[in-house]
Chains A and B, each alone.
Chain A
């Protein structure tokens, strides 16, 4: 079946540090992959997506590449800001979505 395994947090970084949040998946077929961000008390916002192998999704300095050979979709950002503090969810999407457990990120000044 389909599933997503996401790096557990919480993650605490200093401002301008490099961020990686690991995400691997198991899937049948050719799903799309997503990263969502959730700020405290709010719903999910789409951060970026990739619809096929080798696609790179990017937004607001965040990037993730759909790697079929390693079944991964790791989220990266070269220089995090305090405003990036949130919970990040990796998701596998087809007719149904499968979410990772979420990774809490705190960026300190």
Chain B
């Protein structure tokens, strides 16, 4: 149980275009989803937290107009990188947390974005 998927797993796009990454909780309802960014050989950096049906809360330094997050249902959150540039190339990982007292997060497999 507690499986989180991401799609696509790998995407290449041209500079200036937008890319959408999906994060789905497959067997539980995710009241909260998190989006992380990971640079090579570095730790995860939390970008934003989203609760179903409400606006995402972005961490300091993360451009909300560039990284659009939508959490429209209890099983789906999307991250759209708008007007992507090469410096946006990174590994994006989502995680999901269900309702209840446990704060455990379940992580997706990640999406490798390369902007050319």
A residues touching B (Cβ–Cβ < 8 Å)? 31-32, 34, 36, 41-46, 49, 89, 93-97, 99-102, 104
Which residue of A41, A43, A104 contacts B107 across the interface (Cβ within 8 Å)?
A43
- Closest Cβ of chain A: how far from B97's Cβ, in Å? 9
Main secondary structure of the interface of A (DSSP, over half): strand
Complex Cα spacing A33 to B63, Å: 30
B41, B43, B103, B110: residue with the most chain A Cβ atoms closer than 10 Å: B43
When the two chains form their complex, are residues A101 and B43 in contact, meaning their CB atoms are under 8 A apart? yes
List the interface of chain B (C-beta within 8 A of A): 6, 34, 41-44, 46, 49, 93, 95, 103-110, 112
Given contacts A43-B93, A44-B93, contact A97 B46 (CB under 8 A): yes
Known: A45-B107, A93-B105, A104-B41. 11 other contacts (CB 8 A): A32-B103, A41-B112, A42-B110, A43-B107, A43-B110, A94-B103, A95-B103, A96-B46, A97-B46, A99-B44, A102-B43
